C-alpha cells in the first residue's frame, strides 16, 4: 500500500468526515484544510494521523502550507445549493488561482474532485432523475448552478499539467459518526460505469464513498477496478482515464446529492443545458471565418521581402499578432474609421516598421482584403444545425462592404441580424457595441439578454469574452486551439486573461458546439 499524505478539502461536512475517518483508519497522514475546525469530531481531532490547518479559501499562505505537506488532494468542495449570495466563481477561482498553483509549486500532481449527475456522456442511458435534477437546480438555484458549472472549465483548461479525476455522486445517505461510518463502509457497494447501466443505483452511503475514494488513491489508476463492480472494460477506461478535454469527462460514481443539506457540486463545463436560449450572437472573424490564415495570405507582400533570419518570416503568427496590435490601436483611437481603412493603414504601418517597401499595386486590394477570408470547414454545417434551434446574429468589428462579402462565403447559412462596427460607430470591446447588441435584439427580435435568452459565441478573449464577463453576457469559447499557448494567435492569451473571462462552455470548433446542441435538443424531445 502506498504511503499517502492526503489534503482533504471540504472535510467538515458529513461526507468529508467519513473520508477523514477512512483515511486515519488506514493509517494515512491527513491534512484537513478547514475554515471551521470545530466541526471536526473530537475523536478525529485527537488522532495523531490528522493535522488540521485552519484557513479560508482566500488565504493563499495557509493553503500553501497545507499543500506543502501532502502528495495527493481529495476535494469535496462545493457551494451550498441554496446559497444565493456567494459569488458564483468563488470555488473555480480558488481551484485555478490558489490550489493549482500551490500544487505545482510543491510537486503535487494528483487530485480527485467531486461532481454530479449533470455531467453527461454519450454512453449514459436515459433516466428520469438526471434531466429532472438538472432542470430543478438550474431553475431554482441558478446562482449556484452558474458557479459550479465553471468548476469543470477550471479543471479542463487550468489543470492540464495535473492528473485529475472528477467523480460523480448522487444520493449519499448515512451518518458520519464512527458507528455509522464503520457499518456503511462494509455494507455499501459503489457502482462504477455509466448512468442507467446494469447495476446502476441512485444511492449508496457516505461511508462506502469514502472507502472507494481511498481505495482509488491507494491503488492508482492501474488497478482501481479491484473490488468494484464494473460492467465492461469500456466503462473502466472512461471512468479512470487521465481526463483532458470536454469530450472525456468521467463517469465514475454516477449519482447526485438528494439532500440539500449536503454541499453538492454540479461540475459540468462541457454539457450544461444549451436548450434554454433563444438566440446566439457570434463574433465572426476568428470564430466563423479563418481570420489568421487570411491575414497570413494578405501579409505575403511583406513576408516575401523580409530577410530570411527575421523571426517574423520564420513564424508568421508573430507577424499577424503585430499586425493585429496595430489594428487595435486604430480601432481605439479612430472608432469611426471603416475596418477596410484600418487594414490598409495597419499594413502600411507594419511595412514601414519593418523597413519593407511594397509596391502600390500590391496594396490596392487591402481595403477589401477581409471580405476574401474564408470560413473554417466546420462553420457552415455547424451554423445550419444551430439555425434549427436558435436565432443567429453576428456582432462584428467589420465594415458593411466586407461583411456583405463574408455573408456570401457563409451561404447557405443564414443570419437573422448582422450588426457591424460601421453601423455602431465603435469597435469591440467597447461597451457601445454590446449595448447596441442588447438594445437591438430586444427591439428587432424580442430577445432579452437579461432574461437569459442570449448566448454569445466567440473565439476572441479580448474583444468578446472580457466584455461578456463585464456586461453579464453568458458565453461559449470557441477556442480554435487557443487554449494552448502555441495556439494563442490574435484572440488573446488565456493565461494572461483568465481572471477577466467567465465563459461557461468551451468547444474546439463551431462544429463541436453544434454537435452538442443537437444532442441536447434530441434528448429533450426524445
Indicate if 399 belongs to the active site: no
Distance of alpha carbon 512 from alpha carbon 264, whole angstroms: 29
Nearest to 178 by CA among 406, 14, 405: 14
pLDDT-based confidence at 201, cuts 50/70/90?
A: low
Q: Containing H/E element for 194?
A: none
pTM for this predicted structure: 0.56
Sequence ranges of the chain with CATH classification 3.40.50.720: 5-248
Query: SS3 of 131, please?
Result: helix
Distance of alpha carbon 268 from alpha carbon 253, whole angstroms: 15
Sequence ranges of the chain with CATH classification 3.40.50.1000: 279-285+374-525
At 243 the pLDDT is: 29
* 447-451 long-range Cβ contacts below 8 angstroms, 24+ apart: 447/278, 447/279, 447/391, 449/473
Residue 43 has which C-alpha cell?
475523536
Q: Are 268 and 149 in contact (CB under 8 A)?
A: yes
Q: Which of 283, 378, 399, 464 is flagged as catalytic?
A: 283
Higher pLDDT, 220 or 433: 433
Query: SS3 of 60, please?
Result: helix
Please write the tens of the pLDDT for every residue from 313-332.
888 888 988 999 999 999 99
Please write the tens of the pLDDT for every residue from 228-279.
332 333 332 223 322 222 222 333 333 222 222 222 222 333 346 789 899 9
Please write the tens of the pLDDT for every residue from 282-307.
999 999 999 989 999 999 999 999 99
- CATH code for the part of the protein at 279-285+374-525: 3.40.50.1000
Distance of alpha carbon 449 from alpha carbon 456, whole angstroms: 10
At 202 the pLDDT is: 60
CATH number assigned to the domain with residue range 5-248, chosen from the 4 options 3.40.718.10, 3.20.20.100, 3.40.50.720, 3.40.50.300? 3.40.50.720
DSSP labels for 236-272? HHHHHS---SGGG---SS------TTS------SS-S
> Omega of the bond prior to 412 within 30 degrees of 0, cis?
yes
At 254 the pLDDT is: 31
Residue 53 has which C-alpha cell?
490547518
Least-confidence region, from 335-349, 352-366, 393-407, 474-488: 474-488
Least-confidence region, from 149-158, 336-345, 402-411: 149-158
Query: SS3 of 136, please?
Result: helix
What does the DSSP 8-state code read for residue 278?
Answer: S
Amino acid at each position: 500500500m502506498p504511503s499517502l499524505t492526503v489534503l482533504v478539502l471540504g472535510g467538515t461536512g458529513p461526507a468529508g468526515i467519513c473520508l477523514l475517518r477512512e483515511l486515519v483508519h488506514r493509517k494515512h497522514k491527513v491534512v484537513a484544510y478547514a475554515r471551521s475546525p470545530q466541526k471536526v469530531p473530537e475523536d478525529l481531532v485527537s488522532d495523531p494521523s490528522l493535522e488540521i490547518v485552519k484557513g479560508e479559501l482566500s488565504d493563499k499562505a495557509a493553503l500553501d502550507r497545507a499543500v506543502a505537506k501532502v502528495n495527493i488532494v481529495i476535494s469535496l468542495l462545493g457551494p451550498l445549493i441554496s446559497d444565493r449570495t456567494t459569488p458564483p466563481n468563488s470555488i473555480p477561482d480558488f481551484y485555478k488561482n490558489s490550489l493549482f498553483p500551490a500544487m505545482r509549486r510543491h510537486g503535487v500532481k494528483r487530485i480527485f474532485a467531486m461532481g454530479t449527475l449533470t455531467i453527461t456522456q454519450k454512453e449514459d442511458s436515459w433516466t428520469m432523475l438526471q434531466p429532472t435534477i438538472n432542470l430543478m437546480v438550474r431553475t431554482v438555484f441558478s446562482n449556484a448552478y452558474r458557479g459550479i458549472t465553471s468548476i469543470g472549465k477550471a479543471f479542463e483548461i487550468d489543470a492540464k499539467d495535473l492528473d485529475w479525476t472528477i467523480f460523480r455522486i448522487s444520493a449519499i445517505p448515512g451518518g458520519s459518526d464512527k458507528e455509522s461510518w464503520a457499518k456503511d463502509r462494509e455494507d455499501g457497494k459503489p457502482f462504477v460505469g455509466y448512468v442507467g447501466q446494469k447495476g446502476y443505483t441512485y444511492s449508496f452511503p457516505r461511508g462506502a464513498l469514502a472507502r472507494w475514494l481511498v481505495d482509488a488513491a491507494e491503488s492508482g489508476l492501474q488497478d482501481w477496478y479491484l473490488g468494484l463492480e464494473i460492467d465492461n472494460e469500456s466503462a473502466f477506461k472512461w471512468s479512470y482515464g487521465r481526463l483532458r478535454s470536454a469530450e472525456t469527462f468521467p463517469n465514475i460514481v454516477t449519482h447526485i446529492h438528494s439532500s440539500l443539506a449536503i454541499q453538492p457540486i454540479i461540475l459540468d463545463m462541457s454539457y450544461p443545458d444549451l436548450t434554454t436560449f433563444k438566440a446566439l450572437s457570434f463574433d465572426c472573424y476568428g470564430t466563423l471565418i479563418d481570420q489568421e490564415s487570411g491575414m497570413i495570405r494578405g501579409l505575403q507582400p511583406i513576408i516575401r521581402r523580409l530577410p530570411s533570419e527575421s523571426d517574423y518570416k520564420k513564424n508568421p503568427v508573430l507577424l499577424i499578432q503585430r499586425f493585429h496590435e496595430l489594428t487595435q490601436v486604430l480601432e481605439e483611437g479612430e472608432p469611426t474609421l471603416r475596418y477596410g481603412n484600418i487594414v490598409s493603414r495597419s499594413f502600411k504601418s507594419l511595412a514601414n516598421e519593418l523597413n519593407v517597401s511594397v509596391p502600390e499595386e500590391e496594396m490596392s486590394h487591402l481595403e477589401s482584403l477581409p471580405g476574401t477570408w474564408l470560413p473554417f470547414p466546420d462553420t457552415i454545417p455547424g451554423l445550419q444545425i444551430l439555425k434549427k434551434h436558435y436565432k443567429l446574429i453576428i456582432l462584428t468589428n467589420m465594415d458593411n462592404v466586407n461583411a456583405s462579402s463574408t455573408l456570401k462565403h457563409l451561404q447557405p447559412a443564414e443570419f437573422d441580424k448582422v450588426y457591424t462596427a460601421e453601423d455602431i460607430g465603435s469597435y469591440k470591446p467597447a461597451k457601445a457595441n454590446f449595448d447596441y447588441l442588447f438594445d437591438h435584439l430586444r427591439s428587432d427580435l424580442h430577445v432579452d439578454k437579461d432574461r437569459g435568452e442570449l448566448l454569445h459565441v466567440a473565439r476572441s478573449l479580448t474583444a468578446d469574452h472580457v466584455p461578456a464577463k463585464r456586461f453579464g453576457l453568458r458565453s461559449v469559447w470557441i477556442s480554435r486551439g487557443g487554449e494552448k499557448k502555441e495556439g494563442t494567435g490574435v484572440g488573446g492569451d488565456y493565461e494572461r486573461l483568465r481572471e477577466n473571462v467567465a465563459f461557461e462552455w468551451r468547444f474546439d470548433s463551431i462544429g463541436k458546439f453544434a454537435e452538442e446542441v443537437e444532442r441536447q435538443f434530441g434528448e429533450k424531445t426524445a
